[in-house]
Structure 1
């Protein structure tokens, strides 16, 4: 029973976090990031400012916190260790993008894509968010290196993993900026795959044999 209660609490926490973040991104888009306070977000979400801070320690986190890094790390950890590093990372980035945007977009962008697009556009256009976004980029790189299970006692292996992760993330960043500037007209996983293929070749990011 305790495990069930713990799962339910975690689900309620995740639901509350998503609800607060949705209101925050909406308000930032309507009023501007600098003109919107955490109190404004709390009022719109129907919670106290303290509740907002429990889920998002800083105002920047209201835009930047997501589940992308965890999904990428999980996909890499589940990939065949014998594959080249760049292929493992590239496939994980493409697959995680499909998961966070709900995959099939039908006749247009999914609701998840529209939400991610609004967040990305805020990151690109808001000076206060750009520096923090770079911190998140570095954290994702470190998560990827750890998921690759690089031998910490082998500096060369760690260096190779860091270089591969950095190169793949640079290609993904180019795709994200293009996607945001183009108002999400292209499916994000396809655009990331295109950027990675331009950097490393089609064979690296193509489907598994």
Structure 2
């Protein structure tokens, strides 16, 4: 990246980090864009240059690294194991700060109705992308019922773990997700 691109990326991260801090400290609804701009030491117009709306500060858009990691898993690996390997790879590449920021975003999305609504398109697109990737890996059409079912099962397990994780800061989300996907892969024996 060029120096200018690096500076823009740093500004974007700074604005989002300060917004997340303010949302955590005083709530999403009570936080204004002006407060975010002041905390990040930028103008409100700069905030809007990087984020169209206040809700966009909390958009879950971390899916591309997962897509790349899943595409890198050998084709002979089954769908659930492939997702597990991709999740492990993504988690291994993230810094502790990135993991904390991601969890903060997920916590807000899962607990603030306006943010859930703002992220619904991203969640729907992520599910469609997962379905498409799994269909390609299996050599099946995307509307195949087996592809729909495995995508739904994987997504359901992921969502269930995320709901637990956002409620309990001591919950080890990545480890529990790996265990949950392993249980799904083995047919959920009780």
Q: Which residue of 1 aligns with 2:69?
A: 75
1:85–1:161 CA contact under 8 A, matched in 2: no
Shift of 1:93: 2.4
Structure 1 residues 18-27 or 119-128, which shifts more?
119-128
- 1:38-87 Cα offsets, whole Å, 9 max, x none, are 22211211112222122212211111244x20110010111112222222
Q: 2:181 aligns with which of 196, 199, 208?
A: 196
Q: Distance in 2 between matches of 1:142 and 1:10?
A: 30
Q: Distance in 1 between matches of 2:162 and 2:142?
A: 30
For structure 1, the 5+ residue unaligned runs are 1-5, 103-109, 203-209
Q: Distance in 2 between matches of 1:126 and 1:168?
A: 24
Q: Which residue of 2 aligns with 1:89?
A: 83
Any residues of structure 2 matched to 1:182-193 within 5 Å, and which? 182-183=168-169, 185-193=170-178
1:121–1:180 CA contact under 8 A, matched in 2: yes
For structure 2, the 5+ residue unaligned runs are none
RMSD between aligned residues? 2.6
Q: Which residue of 2 aligns with 1:141?
A: 127
Any residues of structure 2 matched to 1:19-58 within 5 Å, and which? 19-58=14-53
Shift of 1:162: 4.6
Look up the SS of the partner of 1:155 in the other structure: coil
2:12–2:50 CA contact under 8 A, matched in 1: yes
TM-score by length of 2: 0.82
Shift of 1:26: 0.4
Look up the SS of the partner of 1:82 in the other structure: coil
Do the aligned partners of residues 65 and 51 (structure 1) sit closer, same or farther apart at CA in structure 2, a change above 3 Å counting? farther
Q: Does 1:14 align with 2:9?
A: yes
Structure 1 residues 25-34 or 10-19, which shifts more?
10-19
Q: Which residue of 1 aligns with 2:93?
A: 99
2:19–2:36 CA contact under 8 A, matched in 1: yes
Shift of 1:161: 4.2
